[in-house]
Structure 1
Amino acid sequence: MAVLKDSVKGKTLGSMMLGLQAEVRSGVQLKVGGRQLEIQRQADAGEIEFLESGQTREDESGWSNIVKKDDTVSPFITPLHSTGNSLPKKTFKPRFDPNVPGVVVLPRPDAGWLNRLNPKDIPVVDVVVDPLILRFLRPHQVDGVKFMYECTMGMRGHEAQGCILADKMGLGKSIQAIALLWTLLRQNPLGGQGPVIQ
């Protein structure tokens, strides 16, 4: 085993296991404790005794500053932080343009919902039904998607979040559920927060 110690303070700087065939002689280069070093000479008995005792002594040779720790990294400080300037507010856009004619924009959360579920005051963005799915929805199904969205997001004023669909067969409960799930898997009324369902 090779142990690297500071010759002034006697502090262990690193160690490594040497193989059985390892040759430690003058001129050999090693990497010990993250430091690259070269063997200069064999330590004499007095130096070994001092290093094992753990005592410290004054630097006689001026060599103590040669070995420096490589992994000193100062913490990152935002350049604008020290100048007093604040970082620009990030703007979030909806996934689909809510101003295009014919798109369905789902209801925005009211103040009560925002107070309850948005304590960090995250910006609100429009949630728009995917136009590829919207073209297959009939008007009553669009109303159903809006209703289910309000129910599942807790915007109806009830304690529970959810709803039950109980229409006759053939009115499009499946496509409404698919449209809602697809929307919740892709969008969120709170900007930059990822989708509602993950």
Structure 2
Amino acid sequence: MAEGVDTPTAILASAAAALRENPFDDISYRALGDAVGVSERTVYRHFPTRSHLLEGVAGWIESTEFPLPPFVTIPQFQEASRARFLAFDASPAFAFVCARAASISPTGESEATFFTRALVAMLATNYPSVNERDLRRVAATLRYFASTQFWARMRTGFDLSAPEISDAFDRTVAQALSGLPTLTRTSR
């Protein structure tokens, strides 16, 4: 194991590397332990079920292969999402693993993710008169349509490419935001 890397991170990196050659279901805990230099039992201690491992690998892949650039404005969010759709097209096996993980019941913390909090903050800044519940509803909509799940459904269900998925995404963002009151600033 590389010096300075913790065991769970090494296991996730090893699992992601194994995904380049094998489907997720063919990756064994024993092989992960051997690759990292720990026992199979240690792998189970960190990831007690396949769902835990899948969720962990997906999170690792999302942060290393598909990081979402920072955004403050809605156009920046749209551009960042379009760039991710292109990245998903470039590494579809990784993107499909992330989409699969997103479709299982969460095994981790139920706290809102950084991405969700960033969406709510962006919307609150652009639409200050909208109540918290409606901000969360629109944020949930935007989050889904920027996700690997949406990309995977468009790729497999409609055989759309990243640019075509981006067009559908942009129309959805416009529709989701159309009902919100626009921000008007007064000059000082």
Do Structure 1 and Structure 2 share a fold, with TM-score over 0.5? no
User: As a proportion of its length, which structure holds more strand?
Assistant: 1
Task: Compute the TM-score of the two structures, normalised by the length of structure 1.
Answer: 0.21
User: Whose RCO is larger (CA < 8 A, sep 6+)?
Assistant: 2
| TM-score of the two chains, using structure 2 as the length reference | 0.22
Q: Which has the larger radius of gyration?
A: 1
